[in-house]
Amino acid sequence: MQSFTCQNCGATVEAKFCGQCGQKKQERITLGQVGDDVYSGLIDFESPFLKTLYFLTVNPSKVYVEYLDGARKRYFSPVRYSIWIMTLMIAIAAMTDTVIVDLSQLESNAPELETQLARFQAIINSLLIPLYFASACLTAGFLRFVFRNEKYTFAELFYPALLNISHFCLVYCIAILLGVFQNAWSQLLLTVLSVVYMCWGLTGIFRPVSGKKYLKSFIAIVLGLAVYMLAFAFLSFSIGYFSLL
């Protein structure tokens, strides 16, 4: 085989794949190749994206454990997966005029406060993706704390936490499409369901699972949510306080 320069990293390559970066020797892009890419990326059930989507629904801990233990190519990258699902949710919310984080039920008599809260709400809703990442950090931190004798580190636990939180956004998508997302009872039901999904999926990482482990992860999850909510309450309160000075 004739040697060539890798188009991705510039290394000299004498095989079909670059030994430095792993890229295959590339030819000019043809329509057929675009078709193949779309098919293998989205439609082919063996594609990492659909595989990740399917298994996160029926057996989330299988995805987490296999990914953490090194079967990474089999699944879609957790960060990309999360950004895709969250972007889908944000798009559906925008198309249906749904506010994902709704602070309008916070009663207030002062008009300046209302304006500030509306501004705060707009900021929060435009920062949903980084906020979900922050929430995954909190969950991973508390999981690491309650399971500190297990082998997984904080950095490793971040990926299951992120995949868990973002995959559940698909349930939010369904609720938004059904027009029940902003209803107080469905908000409560969605919160309970998300805690159940988190407990079920995240406890499964620490095998063999036991009642005690479910309890420990429940505590970690609730602590993560509580800190997250407190941070929100504190920010809303500070905005209220400073706007009334």
Residues that bind Zn ion (CB under 5 A): 6, 8-9, 11, 18, 20-21, 23
The nearest distance, CB 80 to Zn ion, in angstroms, is 21
Nearer to Zn ion by Cβ, of 6 and 162: the residue is 6
Nearer to Zn ion by Cβ, of 8 and 187: the residue is 8
Nearer to Zn ion by Cβ, of 8 and 77: the residue is 8
The nearest distance, CB 27 to Zn ion, in angstroms, is 15
Dist CA 181 CA 171 (whole Å): 10
The nearest distance, CB 20 to Zn ion, in angstroms, is 4
Nearer to Zn ion by Cβ, of 21 and 118: the residue is 21
The nearest distance, CB 183 to Zn ion, in angstroms, is 53
